[in-house]
Every structure is written in C-alpha cells, then in structure tokens.
Amino acid sequence: MAAAVESASTAMPPARRVPDRFRTVSALVAAAAPAILVVIVVILFQQAAPAVRHFGLGFLTGTEWNPVTDMFGALPAIFGTVSTAFLALVLAVPVGVAVAVILAEQGQTTLRGILGTGIELLAAIPSVVYGIWALYVLAPWSYQHLELPISDRFGSIGWLSQPGARSLFNASLVLAVMILPTLSAISREVIRAVPRGLKENAVALGATWWETTWRVILPSARAGIFGATILALGRALGETIAVTMVIGNRYAIPPSIFSPAYTLASVIANEFNEATGTLYPAALIELGLVLILVTLVVNIVALLLVRSTSREASRAA
Amino acid sequence: MYLLTVLALIPLGLVLWFTVSRGLPSVLHPEFFTNSFRPVGIPGGGIAHAIVGTGILVGLASLMAIPVGILGGVYVAEYAVDPWASWVRLASDVLVGTPSIAIGLFAYALVVVPVHHFSGIAGSVALAILMLPIVIRTAEGAVALIPHGLRESGLALGLPRWRVSLQLILPAAAPGVITGALLAVARASGETAPLLFTSLGNTLFKVDPTQAMQALPLTVYQYALLPYKSLQDQAWGAALVLVVMVLGINLLSRWVLRRQIRLAGQL
C-alpha cells in the first residue's frame, strides 16, 4: 500500500527532491526494537563472560551446581526446561488443535463467539495467577488423582514412579493449560486461511465433516499448525513464575517425571538475588543466555513457518 | 472434537473460579485496599503499596514504550517496502517471544548494577522492553487498515509526509493504536519475572521510583510461597485484583477496537 503512494509521488517528480526527514527520524525510532534485541544478547554475554571463560562448553554438559565449590553445570536445568516444555506440548497440542478446528468453522454461532473471546481472554491472565492456582489447586489434585493411580499401576517403570505434589509432571500440566490459548488462537487463524474452495471440493465429493477436517483441512494447514506449536514451545521454554511455584526446584536430572526438577528460568528466579561472588552470578546469567538463544532460534523458525503458510494461502486464494 | 473443546475450557474456568472464590474474602475488607503490609499476627494487612507500585511502574514504562512504539509502528506501516521495516517487524516479533526473566536480567545489568541498588525505575525499564514490541506491531496493524485514499488526498493537497502520517493517518487509526497500547499495559501489569531483580519488592508504601518498589504480581508470588495462612489469603486477594484489572483492560481494548472497525467501515 505504501508502494502505491511511492509510485503516485514519483509519477510527477518535483523539481527538487526534498529529502524525506520523517522517514529518517521514524526509522531511527523504530530501530529501538532491533537495537534492544542486540544489546540484550551483548550485555548478557558480557555479564556471563567470567563463567563462559571458566567453564567453556563444559558448562552445557556439567551436572553439578554447587555455589560453595564454584562448580556450575547447566545440564539438569536444560533437561528440565526442554522436558517440561515438550511434555506440555504433548498434552496441549491435540486439545489446542481441536479447539482451533471448532473455532474456525464457518458461520458465527453465539457459542463459538463466546468460546473464542473466552480463550483469547484466558491468554491474558498473568502467569503468577496460573502459578498460585497450580500450587494450591492443580498440583494437589493431580497428585491424588493422576500421579498416585498411575504410579500404583505402572510404578515398576522407573520414570513413572515416586509420585510427589511438586513435580516435573505438574509443571508441564500447568504449562499445557497456559499455552493452550496461544496455540488455539494461532491455529484458528491458520485454519481459517485454508482456501474455502478446497473444503467445498471435498464436501462436493461426498466427504464427511470428519474426513474433510482430517484429510483436507488439517494437512493443508500443517505447516502453520506446526509453526503455532513451535511458538507455544517458545512460550513454554521461557515461562518462569508458574513453573517455579510447582516444579519442586531440585537441581538434578529427575529419575521420574513425578519427581521434582528445575528449569533454566526457575534457577535464575530463585537464586539470582542471593548469588554472591563473581562466578555464581555469571553462571546464572549464562543460564539466561542459553535460554534466550534457544528461544530466539525456536521463535524465528516458528515465525518463518507461520508466515510461509499464510503467504501460500493468500497465493492459492 | 466438541468434547475436547469443553475439556480445554475446564481448567481455564477453574482458574477463574478459584481466584474469585478464594480471593473474595480478602477483597471484601475495605482496609485490604487502604493498608500496606502488616506483619503476620497483626490483622488489617493490605495491598495498597502493591497497587500504587504497579501503577507507578506501569505508568513509567508506558511513558517510555508507548510514544516510541507508536512512532515505530507508523514507520513500519507507512514505509512497509523499506527493507529496514521488515527487520524492525522481525525484531519485534522475536522480542515478544523473549523470556521475560531474561529481560529482567538485562534490566538488572543495565540499571541496577551501575547505581548499586534496586529501583522502581529498573523495573519499569524491564516492563517497557516487554511493552515496546506489542505497541509497535499493533500500531502498525491499525495504521495499515487506513484506506489509501486518505493518504493520497493528503499528499495531493501538498502536505509533507510527516503531517500526512502524524496528523491525518494516526488520528484516523487512533482507536486501533489505543487498543494496542492498552493490551501492552495489561501485559506489563501482570508480569512478575522481570521485576524480581529490578524493583525487587518492598513491604513499605513507596512512591519514589528510585527505591525498591512492590507490585501486585510480586505480592501474589511472594505471599503465596510463605507458610502463613493470612498472607496466602492476601495472595489470593491480590490475584483477584490483578485478574479483574487485566481482564478489565482487555475488555476495554476490545470495545475500543470494535469502534475502530465501525469507523473504518464508514471511511
């Protein structure tokens, strides 16, 4: 649309080309966003430098976290972050996509309108509110009604034993609830972008609603739904407060999903204010750096995927 | 499929139900809103310091993030063909997804370390960084909705580009831009992680942003983890106040946006 304006103004060139100062000034102001992003990474890297120099790549594979002996390794926290986020996705994706399919249906019924607004509002609830709910309601309930029965029956399998109210599993459960709104809101947009013709063709060929959804709509929205999943993964990786309140905060690779664990973000939240010396805070900031770089990559991949689907859809339409 | 949708809404409904039912007893006492922290055992503790703190932190953050964000958003929409505009867009999208705890660490290194003490200003810098990309992207969306005709008639009248963008396009896009700013305010009001190492929290009533400051989400987080029933009850009360505030701002922004869509239909 700006292109149209450009061509309109160049169609009749003025005698003297006035430099567009507004463009320069506003471009400089807009530079705040990329600049902040770069400065965040640079400053965190600089603050983490003592730990980066001292431990090198061994920081990523070390399993010990001992401020007394100044031994710091990130592996248990990385494991906790990655496994809670993936478990949350496993729990949330089927439900989130189903919600998106329902919400993307043609025709505006009141029920669907209320569901849509409700899910979007739930994305706005602060994470600390999910946290206090998880701590006092969800975790005790899940311990009684999910963890105990499952470990009674399958406790012989190591990673399903040792139930406890503060656990990696409960952290994943609250994460799943928290990423659900994002997941279904973005998937809904992607499914809506599927050209109507495709669906109408399938229906005309005699496909049932289920066949149309499963064999036509979902496959053509595949890349976008995958992108929405990865965006949700990014949120789950970076979520701090709610996870810190229920994960149990034990710095070790847990023997079972029902055992307490730790994530990158929760270690920082719990320990940073008490960290003294040079190596300890630097190691915590390096955890933050690992977290930020992982989410950066995850987010960029997700954005490219979501964009490519909506571009394909607009080309097909 | 409908069954799964209902399944999805159950936990979400439960969050609201427990926040209201557990928070209501605290909120019904008027002194909950007029008093500050009282030690355990002394009745009448309240969250006035946290409410005022959140107001100041989010207010300062808005002063930093909203003007910059709006001008940035106008640039991205008005010069959408510039390669730089797509970089700004990508950076904003990535910044939205950046973990808020990392932004807290950054604000700590940037503001707290040089002056050697925690402050409300450091907290509001962290919140401003969270708000900026939201304001940029929503302002861009609102400006892009304005029909070309308005822009072209302004340029045809010989107005310079900056007057067309700021005095013609921006007022027409105002409802959408305000919606975006409100959404950013709502997001910032609910964030805990960026405040942990910046504004830190305070049990005293403070209005001086160069001091450590309490905020509503910090109150919920800190009180909920303490082993005292009275403070846990206050945490639920503060959570209820926070939810009402955040959802209220969201509903308000929806109402503003609906007016925008109706206005755009008339243009």
Q: Does residue A14 form part of some domain? A: no
Buried b / exposed e over B68-83, threshold 16 CB at 10 Å, is bbbbbbbbbbbbbebe
Q: Which residues contact A38 (CB under 8 A, 6 or more apart)?
A: none
Question: Which residue does chain A place closest to B236, by CA atoms?
Answer: A132
- Residues 24-63 in B contacting A (C-alpha not used; CB under 8 Å): none
Residues in chain A closer than 8 A to B237 (CB atoms) = none
Residues of A in contact with B254 (CB under 8 A): 117
Amino acid at B52: V
Q: What are A130-167's pLDDT values in tens digits?
A: 999 999 999 999 999 999 999 888 878 878 888 888 99
Q: Which domains does chain B have, with CATH numbers?
A: 47-266 (1.10.3720.10)
**Among B5-14, B231-240, B256-265, where is mean pLDDT lowest?**
B256-265
Rounded to an integer, the average pLDDT of B229-249 is 95
The CA distance from A35 to the nearest CA of chain B, in Å, is: 9
pLDDT level of residue A17 (50, 70, 90 thresholds): low
Asked whether the beta carbons of B19 and B13 are under 8 A apart, the reply is no
pLDDT band at A288; cut points 50, 70, 90: very high
Verify whether the Cβ–Cβ distance A33 to B225 is below 8 Å: no
Where is mean pLDDT largest: A88-92, A151-155, B158-162?
A: A88-92
Are the beta carbons of A219 and A245 closer than 8 angstroms? no
| Inside any domain, residue A139 | yes
A13 within domain boundaries: no
* CATH number assigned to the domain comprising residue A83: 1.10.3720.10
> How far, CA to CA in Å, does A306 sit from each of A77, A228, A312?
29, 7, 10
Would you call A237 and B99 a contact, using CB atoms and an 8 Å cutoff? yes
Element (H, E) at A192: helix A168-192
CB pairs under 8 A between A and B: 261
Considering only CA atoms, which of B180, B57, B192 is closest in space to residue B128?
B57
**Model confidence pLDDT, tens digit, residues B96-153:** 989 999 999 999 999 999 999 999 999 999 999 999 999 999 999 999 988 889 999 9
Question: Quick one: average pLDDT of A289-312?
Answer: 84
Residue A158 has what pLDDT?
77
Residue A50 in any domain: the answer is no
Q: Is the dihedral of CA A255, A257, A259, A263 positive or negative?
A: positive
Q: pLDDT tens for residues B176-195?
A: 899 999 999 999 999 999 99
Largest CA distance in chain A: 85
Q: A10 lies in a domain?
A: no
Separation of alpha carbons A294 and B132, rounded Å: 22
Residue A4 confidence (pLDDT) above 50:
no
Tell me the C-alpha distance between A20 and B63, whole Å: 27
The whole-chain average pLDDT of chain B stands at 92
Burial of A93 (0-12, 13-18, 19+ CB in 10 A): buried
Q: A191: domain range?
A: 72-316
Q: How far is CA A296 from CA A38, A291, A303, B54, in A?
A: 11, 8, 11, 29
Do residues A270 and A260 lie in contact, with contact meaning Cβ atoms separated by under 8 Å? no
Q: Which amino acid is at B173?
A: A
Distance of CA A123 to the CA centre of its chain: 12
Angle at the Cα of A191 (from A185 to A196), degrees rounded to 5?
Answer: 140
Q: Does B221 touch chain A (CB under 8 A)?
A: yes
Rounded distance, CA A219 to CA B123, Å?
A: 45
Task: Look at residue A179 in the predicted model and tell me its pLDDT.
Answer: 94
Opening angle at CA A296, ends A277 and A67, nearest 5: 20
What average pLDDT score do residues A161-184 get?
92
pLDDT number for residue A106: 65
Q: What's the average model confidence in pLDDT over B76-82?
A: 92
Query: What's the mean pLDDT in A175-196?
Result: 90
Q: Flag whether A219 is in a domain.
A: yes
Residue A300 within a domain:
yes
Contact A222, A308 (CB under 8 A): no
Q: Does B68 touch chain A (CB under 8 A)?
A: yes
Mean pLDDT of B14-41: 93
- pLDDT, tens digit, for every residue of A72-89? 999 999 999 999 999 999
Task: State whether residue B157 sits within 8 Å of chain A by CB.
Answer: no
Pairwise CA distance, residues A317 & A311, whole Å: 10
Mind giving me the DSSP string for B213-226? Answer: B--HHHHHHHHHTS
Backbone angles phi, psi at B80, to 5 degrees: -60, -25
Q: What is the DSSP letter of B193?
A: G
Supply the pLDDT for residue A1.
43
Contact A22 B160 (CB under 8 A): yes
Residues A253-261 have a mean pLDDT of 93
Tokens 């899910």 sit at which residue? A119
Q: Is residue A56 part of a domain?
A: no
pLDDT given at position B195: 96
Mutating which of B167, B221, B245, B258 best tests the A interface, going by the most A Cβ atoms within 10 A? B221
E strands, B127-173, are none
Nearest CA to A3 out of B88, B81, B158, B76 is that of B81
The residue assigned the tokens 């990130």 is A74
Structural domain count, chain A: 1
Q: What percent of chain A has pLDDT over 90?
A: 56
